[in-house]
Amino acid sequence: MLYIAIGVLGFLVIHTFDFVALKKVPVLKPVVWLTGSGLLAYAMVMVCLAPEKLALPTWGTWLGWVLLIISLLLLLYSLFINLPLRKTYLASGIGDKLVKTGLYALVRHPGVMWFTLVMVSLVLVAKTQLTLIAAPLFITLDVVLVVVQDKFFFVRMFTDYKSYQRETPMLIPNRRSIRAFVDSLKQAKS
């Protein structure tokens, strides 16, 4: 349970990231981001290494590995490539523009979808009781984080965020957002 508490602490630290960005405190933004992400990553690894195992079928492990690879790549892409890494996580203040293309045309917070799949895949791969407890808790904390961002921070950070909220669903893609996503991919190719 210690590792679950460390993961919760990681999320609490990550929750302060947007506040620090708005206050434009030099150097603190990357420190907060690295500390929170590091605590969460450490907790996720440690819950996967817990000794108490679940009796899951072998095909579940294979499915888990496939899901893990795909969802982890999509998570990394959505957070560190689709968003400008330096402006989003390292530079003081907030980024200079709202990203509404790529995965961010699909939903406003695509990282939640991929993080959820990462956690489900870790349950299947690690087969530990602790991962089964941590997964729903960490997913819930991730959803809480983006709800807070969506309602309190992003509307203050980006002038056109309210129109983005009207155009793009928060977490679950719809027909219109899928079309916008495909169109943004076509525009990126040209």
Residues in the chain: 190
Amino acid at 85: L
% residues pLDDT > 90 (the chain): 73
Say whether pLDDT at 25 is over 90. Answer: no
Say if residue 157's pLDDT is above 90: no
Hunting for tokens 């961002």 — which residue is that?
Answer: 149
Q: Give which of 13, 12, 30 is closest to 21, Cα–Cα.
A: 30
Structure tokens at 15: 């929750």
Q: What is the pLDDT of residues 33-56, one digit of tens each?
A: 999 999 999 999 999 999 999 998
Least Cα distance to 30 among 70, 172, 38 occurs for: 38
Task: For domain 2-189, give the fold.
Answer: Four Helix Bundle (Hemerythrin (Met), subunit A) (1.20.120)
- Gap between the Cα atoms of 128 and 132, Å rounded: 7
Domain residue ranges of the chain, discontinuous segments joined by +: 2-189
Joined together, the tokens standing for residue 40 give 């969460």
Q: What's the burial of 72, exposed, middle or buried (CB within 10 Å: 0-12/13-18/19+)? A: middle
Please provide the average confidence, as pLDDT, over all residues in the chain. Answer: 92
Dig out the tokens for 126 from the structure: 């690690």
